[in-house]
Amino acid sequence: IGVIGIRPDISYYSEEWAAMEEKAKEKGYRIIGIAHNNELFIKDMKLLLQFPVDGYIFMYSSMTAEIAAFLRKNGISFVACSKTVGLSGINYVDFDPESIFEKGMRHLIELGHRRIAYVEFNNPNYSYSERILNLYKKIISEAGLPLDESLFISRSQYYYYNIYKEDYCREYGKICAEELIAHGKKPSAALISSVNMADGFIDGLKKYNLKCPDDVSIVAYNERLRAETFFTDIELDHRGRASEVTAMLIELIDNPWSGARQKLIKSKLAVRKSSIPAEKTDTVKYAEVRNEYIKI
């Protein structure tokens, strides 16, 4: 089984890799990691025919309609680890991004927060960010809250990774927090798509003597299932997803004409210390004095 877009030598992916190996071994398969430049297979799809594999898993990679059509034409089974909206006949296993986002937003709105920031990375190959922005507007409108699109922050993951390498998530969170405060856009709460990013967001708040949750409540997606005692989080079981996607691919290899398979994994929100009612959050305004922010 060829796994595109994940490297076993990077500790960040070790849990997912171990889960895929375990599930593959049960059925007599082996896993081959194929790291690549993001546009490599888009430019030359024939490369996909040169690897000695029975099928492909696309993880953190660029599944396109062209690649899917090419693989189907050549009788190669495949599964994507992302919800591919707008592409028909794609096999995928993923978390339900809209449901996850709504859980986080509803929790903060129920706590009385009116200015809620959202911080994520986007991938231009998918419509995820556009869908989430539309849902953000819908939820804000239904709650009768004022819309400030500057609170919705979605930027290229590759740009920040190229600059900050392994620390890119934390640095991105820090930069986003600093920019919001510097531009007078302080939220009372933030929904953040990674616990590492949330750590960085808190780093950014500290620059202006702000704290979580005293000044800003935070809900974070816990994508690595680290043992969490502080953040209110939405658990994303990546190990479980890796096992599910491997099992699905093996089923497709054994039954290649079984039709498209699609599965969304549900996630739970766990309330902890980082999110508190808005009336307990310090909502005073800030003024810039000698490049520092003080409460007034």
pLDDT value of position 86 = 67
pLDDT tops 80 at residue 125: no
pLDDT in tens, 39-92: 666 678 888 999 999 999 998 766 778 888 899 999 999 999 887 766 777 899
**How far is Cα 198 from Cα 13, in angstroms, rounded to an integer?**
19
- Burial of 264 per CB tally in 10 Å (0-12, 13-18, 19+): middle
Domain identity same for 28 and 113 = no
Domain identity same for 219 and 169 = yes
pLDDT in tens, 170-193: 999 999 999 999 999 999 999 999
**How far is Cα 272 from Cα 294, in angstroms, rounded to an integer?**
28
Domain identity same for 61 and 106 = no
What share of the chain in percent tops pLDDT 70? Answer: 86
- In this prediction, residue 37 has a pLDDT band, given cuts at 50, 70 and 90, of low
Domain identity same for 285 and 211 = yes
> What is the number of domains present in the chain?
2
**How far is Cα 203 from Cα 83, in angstroms, rounded to an integer?**
32
Domain identity same for 85 and 68 = yes
Q: Are 3 and 34 in contact (CB under 8 A)?
A: yes
CA distance between the termini of the chain: 60
Mean confidence (pLDDT) of the chain = 87
pLDDT tops 90 at residue 279: no
pLDDT value of position 36 = 66
Domain identity same for 10 and 88 = yes
**How far is Cα 276 from Cα 268, in angstroms, rounded to an integer?**
18
pLDDT value of position 278 = 94
Question: What does pTM read for this prediction?
Answer: 0.82
Q: Which amino acid is at 99?
A: S
In the three-class reduction of DSSP (H, G, I as helix; E, B as strand; rest coil), residue 165 is classed as helix
pLDDT in tens, 226-272: 678 899 999 998 889 999 999 999 999 988 776 788 999 989 999 99
Evaluated on CA atoms 253, 258, 260, 264, the torsion sign reads negative
Q: Are 150 and 185 in contact (CB under 8 A)?
A: yes
Q: Are 107 and 218 in contact (CB under 8 A)?
A: no
CATH number for the domain including 71? 3.40.50.2300
**How far is Cα 229 from Cα 233, in angstroms, rounded to an integer?**
10
232-235/269-270 β-pairing? antiparallel
Range of the domain at 188: 97-236+270-295
Domain identity same for 226 and 122 = yes
pLDDT value of position 5 = 81
Domain identity same for 124 and 180 = yes
In the three-class reduction of DSSP (H, G, I as helix; E, B as strand; rest coil), residue 176 is classed as helix
Domain identity same for 156 and 287 = yes
The whole-number average pLDDT for the span 113-139 is 89
Domain identity same for 71 and 186 = no
Domain identity same for 155 and 121 = yes
Domain identity same for 72 and 132 = no
